[in-house]
């Protein structure tokens, strides 16, 4: 009887399991699969939110491909990466090396950097908008000590650099700790051997340290590329995409196209293209930079 | 020999310089927060013209947000409540649903489990921005624009949460569960009295990251909410700043309100945040 009882329980339990799974599936039918179908419909129709969608084939595709603002935003992603990747890599590498040499207060320092990562995008964007403003504290400091000011947000060339500095501020702690976890895993014996061979510090950096943290570096680059394509709050709040569209990023263009120009079909198609391009960018980066490092 | 070698560099002058440098950088990284708090405590005309810690300190900016901003059709107190309501509802819902479904995925055999697992992983790699506009269409068809539901319903369950909790639950030995079943524990009791306490860290991580993500969410509520009475703080603050950007004091006071809950959570639960980012400080 007892065995029968447990069997009965088992049957009941697998039904409960299936019921729980079905609740998750139903949720996803409504809030994931249905929008997915709409995504396909939107990309091949002409629609302005109110009228009936009319089939337009590849028309949206050609319009988007010929939209200079869209391409400008893709170009802006490349410009952003041009500033962001070298700055954030140098800073987080420096942070990771520095952290290795700290005896006391390691936790305090790491948390001071990480708190920038766990914070509200709207709040810090507003703060940096004020700090970078033409009469803000940064320019006041520069004027007092060095006698010049920098048009952080009002010059088309500087604005993107300023945005990437803000994003660097946010992510250095996170990326730095990822790299740090790679650094502490490198066996000391390798450095001892290099010491015996009188290896120069720079050679050690490029021949031992960087190859040994290849996995962590690639991970940071994947994050950096994802951030570059998905950035919205910072340019929306700080520059509004300007000056002269110099910080107009893809999500801003998608937002504008869908909700100000009421062209949701084109905006949906832009989102698909941006997602594919970012996927491709990550794929290419990994192909060129990812190495399988093994200790023999 | 090895050990001595590792200890020696810690005491050289070079490493002292590095330590001091790192402290200076840490303070630099905190500077935007310090500036934000100080600016929120000063009258607007003084903010750009006084040193960081000098000038008149007053609570006027906060008083303005809570008393007078309502007359400008910017109910800050209400939006703070909205933010807490939306964020806590979503967090609660994600944690509960992830615990139950995660348990099913980890510990119950049923047909189709493997396929659902694959679906969850597939779902996690599709970027959210692709589905944003069609999701807006759905919310519009359901007549939910300008309702709390628009900000809560689409994120009530999370594939990521289920995945994280299932991974952790798998590590709990089946013997515990069998013992609980012999004591005639119900599914609810098994999950809340056994699995959740045994996997406290992962449940905390799912709760904390859902909370910060929802609190910080800006683009989605910006799209679906134009009614100032139901706006979360992030969106109300953004519209206030676009219109009254020259009132630096009140804008900074609003930023403090927006940032403070997350900073406090981070300080209190730093252990779980570090664990959730899979970082450790050795």
CA–CA separation, A167 vs B6, rounded Å? 35
Which domains does chain B show, CATH number per domain? 70-276 (1.10.3720.10)
Count chain A–chain B contacts defined by CB atoms under 8 A: 243
CB nearest to B19's CB, from A102, A118, A128? A102
Residue A5's pLDDT is 47
Joined tokens for residue A31: 């809030």
Cβ under 8 Å to A: B residues 146-165: 153-154, 156-157, 162
Residue A144's pLDDT is 87
Mean pLDDT, chain B, whole residue set: 89
Using only the alpha carbons of chain A, give its radius of gyration: 25
Question: Does the pLDDT of residue B10 top 60, yes or no?
Answer: no
Residue A199's pLDDT is 85
Q: What number is the average pLDDT over the span A25-35?
A: 94
Residue A249's pLDDT is 95
Question: Does the pLDDT of residue B120 top 50, yes or no?
Answer: yes
Residue A100's pLDDT is 87
CATH match of A62-289 with 3.30.2000.20 = no
Residue A204's pLDDT is 87
pLDDT digit string, tens, across residues B186-225: 899 999 999 999 999 999 999 999 999 999 999 999 999 9
Residue B8's pLDDT is 47
CB nearest to A21's CB, from B104, B273, B282? B104
What is the least distance, in Å, from the CA of B161 to any CA of chain A?
12
pLDDT digit string, tens, across residues B231-267: 999 999 999 998 888 889 999 999 999 999 999 999 9
**Separation in Å, CA B161 to CA A6, B103, B121, B209:** 31, 12, 11, 9
Question: Does the pLDDT of residue B274 top 90, yes or no?
Answer: no
Is there a contact between B31 and B49 (Cβ–Cβ < 8 Å)? no
3-state secondary structure labels for all residues of chain B: CHHHHHHHHHHCHHHHHHHHHHHHHHHHHHHHHHHHHHHHCCCHHHHCCCCCCCCCCCCHHHHHHHHHHHHHCCCHHHHHHHHHHHHHHHHHHHHHHHHHHHHHHHHCCCCCHHHHHHHHHHHHHCCHHHHHHHHHHHHHHCCCCCCHHHHHHHHCCCHHHHHHHHHHHCCCCHHHHHHHHHCCCCHHHHHHHHHHHHCHHHHHHHHHHHHHHHHHCCHHHHHHCCCCCCCCHHHHHHHHHHHHCCCHHHHHHHHHHHHHHHHHHHHHCHHHHHHHCCCCCC
**Separation in Å, CA A137 to CA A49, A127, A141, A186, B58:** 45, 11, 6, 42, 20
Question: Does the pLDDT of residue B104 top 90, yes or no?
Answer: yes
Half-sphere exposure (Cβ direction) of A118: Cα atoms closer than 13 Å: 26
With CA atoms as reference, the chain B residue closest to A271 would be B130
Q: What number is the average pLDDT over the span B161-184?
A: 93
pLDDT category of residue B44 using cuts at 50, 70 and 90 = confident
Is there a contact between A226 and B212 (Cβ–Cβ < 8 Å)? no
Identify the sign of the CA torsion A137, A140, A145, A148.
Answer: positive
Exposed / middle / buried, residue A97 (Cβ in 10 Å: 0-12, 13-18, 19+): middle
Joined tokens for residue B224: 């679906």
The rounded percent of chain A whose pLDDT value lies above 90 is 58
Is there a contact between A24 and B162 (Cβ–Cβ < 8 Å)? yes
pLDDT digit string, tens, across residues B62-102: 998 888 877 788 899 999 999 999 999 999 999 999 999 99
Q: Does B119 touch chain A (CB under 8 A)?
A: yes
Q: Does B30 touch chain A (CB under 8 A)?
A: yes
Residue with the bigger pLDDT between B278 and B151: it is B151
pLDDT category of residue A48 using cuts at 50, 70 and 90 = confident
With CA atoms as reference, the chain B residue closest to A123 would be B255
Q: Please give the ipTM for the structure prediction.
A: 0.88
Joined tokens for residue B27: 């303070």
- Of residues B65, B59, B38, the one with CA closest to residue B50: B38
The rounded percent of chain B whose pLDDT value lies above 90 is 68
Question: Does the pLDDT of residue A178 top 60, yes or no?
Answer: yes
pLDDT digit string, tens, across residues A101-131: 887 788 889 999 999 998 899 999 999 999 9
Question: Does the pLDDT of residue B11 top 80, yes or no?
Answer: no
Cβ under 8 Å to A: B residues 72-101: 97, 100-101
Interface contact B18-A49, CB threshold 8 A: no
CA–CA separation, B9 vs A241, rounded Å? 48
What is the least distance, in Å, from the CA of B251 to any CA of chain A?
8
Interface contact B22-A109, CB threshold 8 A: yes
Interface contact B127-A31, CB threshold 8 A: no
Residue B282's pLDDT is 55
Is there a contact between A95 and A113 (Cβ–Cβ < 8 Å)? yes
Mean pLDDT, chain A, whole residue set: 89
Cβ under 8 Å to A: B residues 228-247: 234, 237-238, 241
Q: To probe the interface with B, which of A126, A136, A241 has the most B CB atoms within 10 Å? A: A126
- Give the dihedral of Cα atoms B118, B119, B120, B123; nearest 10 deg: 130
Question: Does the pLDDT of residue A47 top 70, yes or no?
Answer: yes
Q: To probe the interface with B, which of A35, A47, A254 has the most B CB atoms within 10 Å? A: A35
Question: Does the pLDDT of residue B55 top 90, yes or no?
Answer: no
Is there a contact between A96 and A177 (Cβ–Cβ < 8 Å)? yes
pLDDT category of residue A3 using cuts at 50, 70 and 90 = very low
Which of A185-199, A275-289, B85-99, B133-147 is predicted with the least confidence, judged by mean pLDDT?
Answer: A185-199
Between CA B179 and CA B183, with CA B181 as vertex, the angle to 5 degrees is 75
Residue B13's pLDDT is 81
Interface contact A105-B19, CB threshold 8 A: yes
Is there a contact between B144 and B153 (Cβ–Cβ < 8 Å)? yes
Q: Does B6 touch chain A (CB under 8 A)?
A: yes
């Amino acid at each position: 009887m007892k065995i029968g009882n447990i069997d009965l329980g088992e049957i009941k339990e697998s039904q409960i399991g299936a019921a729980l799974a079905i609740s998750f599936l139903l949720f996803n039918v409504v809030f994931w699969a249905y929008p997915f179908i709409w995504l396909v419909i939107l990309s091949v129709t002409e629609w302005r939110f109110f009228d009936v969608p009319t089939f337009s084939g590849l028309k949206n595709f050609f319009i988007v491909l010929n939209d200079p603002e869209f391409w400008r935003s893709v170009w802006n992603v490349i410009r952003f990466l041009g500033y962001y990747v070298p700055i954030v890599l140098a800073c987080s590498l420096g942070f990771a090396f520095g952290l290795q040499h700290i005896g006391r207060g390691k936790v305090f320092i790491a948390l001071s950097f990480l708190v920038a990562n766990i914070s509200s995008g709207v709040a810090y964007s507003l703060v940096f908008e004020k700090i970078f403003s033409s009469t803000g504290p940064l320019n006041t400091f520069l004027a007092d000590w060095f006698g010049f000011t920098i048009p952080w947000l009002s010059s088309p060339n500087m604005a993107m650099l300023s945005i990437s500095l803000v994003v660097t501020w946010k992510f250095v702690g996170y990326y730095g700790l990822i790299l740090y976890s790679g650094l502490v895993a490198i066996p000391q014996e390798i450095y001892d051997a290099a010491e015996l061979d009188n290896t120069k510090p720079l050679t050690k950096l490029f021949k031992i340290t960087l190859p040994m943290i290849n996995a962590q570096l690639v991970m940071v680059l994947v994050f950096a590329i994802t951030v570059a394509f998905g950035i919205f709050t910072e340019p929306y709040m700080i520059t509004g995409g300007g000056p002269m569209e110099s910080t107009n990023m893809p999500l801003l263009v998608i937002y504008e196209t869908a909700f100000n120009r009421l062209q949701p079909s084109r905006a949906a198609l832009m989102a698909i293209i941006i997602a594919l391009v970012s996927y491709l960018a990550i794929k290419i980066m990994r192909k060129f930079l990812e190495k399988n490092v093994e200790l023999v | 020999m090895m050990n001595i070698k590792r200890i020696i560099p810690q005491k050289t002058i070079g490493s002292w310089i590095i330590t001091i440098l790192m402290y200076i950088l840490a303070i630099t990284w905190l500077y935007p927060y310090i500036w934000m708090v100080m600016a929120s405590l000063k009258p607007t005309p003084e903010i750009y013209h006084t040193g960081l810690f000098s000038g008149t300190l007053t609570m006027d900016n906060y008083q303005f947000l809570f008393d007078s901003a309502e007359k400008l059709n910017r109910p800050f107190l209400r939006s703070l409540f909205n933010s807490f309501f939306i964020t806590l509802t979503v967090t609660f819902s994600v944690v509960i649903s992830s615990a139950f479904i995660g348990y099913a995925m980890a510990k119950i055999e049923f047909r189709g489990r493997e396929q659902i697992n694959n679906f969850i992983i597939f779902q996690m790699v599709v970027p959210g921005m692709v589905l944003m506009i069609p999701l807006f269409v759905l919310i519009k068809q359901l007549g939910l624009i300008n309702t709390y539901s628009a900000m809560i319903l689409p994120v009530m369950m999370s594939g990521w949460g289920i995945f994280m909790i299932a991974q952790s639950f798998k590590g709990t030995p089946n013997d515990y569960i069998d013992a609980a079943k012999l004591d005639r524990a119900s599914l609810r009791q098994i999950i809340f009295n056994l699995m959740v306490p045994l996997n406290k860290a992962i449940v905390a991580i799912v709760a904390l990251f859902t909370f910060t993500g929802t609190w910080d969410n800006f683009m989605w509520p910006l799209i679906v909410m134009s009614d100032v009475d139901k706006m979360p703080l992030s969106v109300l603050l953004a519209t206030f700043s676009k219109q009254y950007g020259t009132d630096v004091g009140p804008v900074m006071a609003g930023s403090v309100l927006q940032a403070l809950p997350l900073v406090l959570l981070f300080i209190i639960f730093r252990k779980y945040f570090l664990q959730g980012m899979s970082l450790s400080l050795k």
